[in-house]
Structure 1
């Protein structure tokens, strides 16, 4: 997971970074109000190294008998299957239509098909996404026609997620656990800031197929995509749960569980719903979709959406990126960066955000900093330097703070706009790269290139 509204500071060449964290201790709801009893999650299948994985896992999960354990990707392979995930979402829950999976035009058409005026659709939309209501049931749809409300209670479902619990970190970050209709679990993070900027970090998949070696979510493999409704409802829940405590949610980052552009249909749809001016009404520039570098999907997103893009770069050579981000074996650095140069020529006042997780002895040399300056030339961009958040099973270690500052200063002197972003919520496994819970079978850790074995062992 990569979060967008953490502690940040605009870089000045002579500036000295302050690594103090915001410490907030908001009240935590009582355990009785947080605890639900969702169905236990089933074993999560991993991504497979061939194109039959998605359909096979989908059909197996639908049967009454458990699927056979999927094969692990070998240490010499590791490039994710990008064939998609069968059954990426449903528009109905049983006999009821799931309303949060609809754009406004779709909702209006459905309301008319039920025999009601288009104006009723707008009133419904505002109560689902605006007017400080964020309705989750027909009973909360105050001010609507009585017959219309009765029809909705019989034929429609407003809530796509079931709230399970909140885990509050010492710095005020909150991790919300949701259960899905099929019993699977996802995690969403609320990141409050002291300047009125409050961010919700939403998940887009159950697990992730990308197998980035520094990411805990990547250990899970991919089970399925989230539907547009399941994505949107994370933002709605964020408003409902925390509006009175922290104020309005101002930013959305698609940096939770999953690779958003691997689920591009539902992500674009969810982003469209979030920025609708009669609903949640987020500014497109305050909705940021992160990607590890799926080039065709990135092109499509830049053409179809005005929302912001963050690219997880994390290396300055193909050799290193092939190892820590296997997607680079399919879309090399040169292809990814040239795509951005070409596409951003047609978008005015648009900057891509490059995210760079600092891994001690791997990608944090001063030579890396100099190469990074060259790599981003000609791309309107900002760079986030992110402190690595350790987790079980990882061999990586965070770069020392002093070296991050020196790395930052080299980039600033080279003309880059740079931010430092430190951990938020790491004591509750809510920080960047820490979401999810791998099952008994995990995605493979890839072989460490020989030249980095000593560096990993020596890193402190």
Structure 2
């Protein structure tokens, strides 16, 4: 049985508006989370830190934020009280609100995080998922609130795009997940949590949550620079994967500026079907996409591109599809991740039969592509691939349905 935790005390939780979002006091302070080292140095200079001390103070803050994982300036023991007060007056390092935390029967965790309003906007919510496996723990991170791409097999695609997440909001997902899992010094892992038996609990990060990362390129690139910094969160670039549905103009740039691993949300072997499943294909068809993949910086057998392929019964799972897939990827250092379709309310597809998935996998494996079948994780809490959708969007839909019934 899955466990769902509402982390707000119902006795003290404030009233909610029609969208299910609680009103909050807008904090006008700028967040230091997600800033590059240069930006952090500029922020320190702005509160009066002498130029000759900026580099040292930047290193101190970086350590407290990303090695120790503190979320309160008062806990920065080797920073003077005067500077802590100045920083607290001008900036914030607060975490987003955790609305809910769900734990699947297989140990997968899904959080709904709420970020405060920006400017004249409203609070927004996104979902972040932690997948524990033997030897590693993978955090699936969101880059946007909603999505514009309308991939027909993806639940997020049924939600309109609200806005891009900032670099700080992307990094905050990693910070809060590590905090909740006990992956910072002096923080305990929750009793009974399913986590890797040794090593770091969040060892891998995948930009495969809500949204298209390459439509929020600058913020994603800045965030990945913070996440991969060797003196902070220190997640190896080989353990960070950026997944795109095929925003061709940004693919080579992503390799040049981030250096992380690339995954392509493929799902079809011809343009006619991909136009339906992944509509961005109408703008950047397969030939254009595959050419960009061949030019991905650093591409080699040691740094392969992952091609994600969701298995849809009677749609893209025939052995002819398998043969065409192998033929299409010839010459590209690649591996193929086969993803059994994860159903969601209102979806029109079915998952391929398991024996057909295995036949498909055997064929592409024999052709020289590592093609593990990604075992569905977290289905019981809608945390599996293609199932993410913010709670606030679901609440808005419920409100619309109630209004229609009343009318």
CA 1:148 to 1:385, structure 2 compared with 1: closer, same or farther past 3 Å? Answer: same
Residues 1:192 and 2:129 aligned together: no
Are 1:386 and 2:321 an aligned pair? no
TM-aligned CA distance change 1:267 to 1:404, over 3 Å: same
The one-character-per-residue Cα deviations of 1:63-121 (angstroms, maximum 9, x if unpaired) are xxxxxxxxxxxxxxxxxxxxxxxxxxxxxx75422101310121122213322222111
Q: Which residue is equivalent to 1:377?
A: 330
Q: Deviations over 1:258-311 (max 9, x none)?
A: 111111111001000101111101101111111000000112111211111111
Matching of residues 244-283 of structure 1 within 5 Å: 244-245=188-189, 246=195, 247-283=200-236
Give the alignment's TM-score, normalised by structure 2: 0.84
The correspondence for 1:105, drawn from 17, 33, 38, is 38
TM superposition shift of 1:411: 0.5
Whole-Å separation in 2 of the counterparts to 1:33 and 1:200:
27
2:160 to 215, 218, 221: 221
Matched, 1:128 2:68: no
* Contact kept in structure 1, 2:256 and 2:297, CA below 8 Å: no
> What's the CA shift for 1:342?
2.5
Partners of 2:337 and 2:18 in 1: how far apart? Answer: 36
CA contact (8 A) 2:7 2:99 kept: no
Give how far 1:198 is off.
0.8
How far apart, in 2, do the equivalents of 1:37 and 1:125 lie? 33
Give the distance between the partners of 1:180 and 1:124, measured in 2 at CA.
22
Helix, strand or coil at the partner of 1:222:
coil
1:149 to 2:49 alignment: no
- The alpha-carbon deviation at position 412 of structure 1 amounts to 1.3
Give the superposition deviation at 1:420: 1.1
List runs of 5+ in structure 1 lacking aligned partners. Answer: 1-23, 45-92, 443-460
Q: 1:138 is matched with which residue: 73, 77, 95?
A: 73
Deviation, 1:430, is 0.7
Query: How far apart, CA to CA, are the structure 1 residues paired with 2:215 and 2:13?
Result: 30
Distance change (3 Å), C-alpha of 1:39 and 1:385: farther
Q: Which is worse superposed, 232-241 or 175-184?
A: 175-184
Equivalent in the alignment of 1:176: 111
**Higher RCO, Cα 8 Å, sep 6+:** 1
Are residues 34 and 374 of structure 1, via their aligned partners in 2, closer, same or farther at CA, if it must alter by over 3 Å? farther
Cα offsets for 1:161-208 (capped at 9, x unmatched): 22222011111001011111122211111111132x011111111111
In the alignment, which residue of structure 1 is the partner of 2:361? 408
TM-score, length of structure 1 as denominator length: 0.75
Unaligned runs of 5+ in 2: 21-25, 118-122, 183-187, 190-194, 399-407
Distance 1:228 1:395 in 2: 35
Which residue of the other structure, out of 115, 124, 134, is the alignment partner of 2:48?
Answer: 115
Q: 1:366 is matched with which residue?
A: 319
Q: How has the CA–CA distance of structure 1 residues 346 and 422 changed in structure 2, closer, same or farther, with 3 Å as cutoff?
A: closer
Note if contact 2:228-2:237 (Cα within 8 Å) is conserved in structure 1: yes
Secondary structure in 1 aligned to 2:105?
A: coil
Alpha-carbon distance, 1:225 to partner:
0.5
Q: 1:345 to 1:169 in 2, by over 3 A?
A: closer
Change beyond 3 A, Cα 1:36–1:254: farther
Name the CA shift for 1:149/1:347 in 2 (closer, same or farther; >3 Å): farther
- C-alpha distance 94-127 of structure 1, shift in aligned 2 (>3 A): same
Structure 1 contact 35–164 (Cα < 8 Å) conserved = no
Residue 54 of structure 1 is matched in structure 2 by none
Partner of 1:61: none
Q: Is the 8 A contact 1:232 1:273 kept in 2?
A: yes
Return the offset for 1:356. 0.5
- Give, in whole Å, the separation in 2 of the partners of 1:230 and 1:39: 25
- Change over 3 Å in CA distance of 1:39–1:174 after alignment to 2: farther
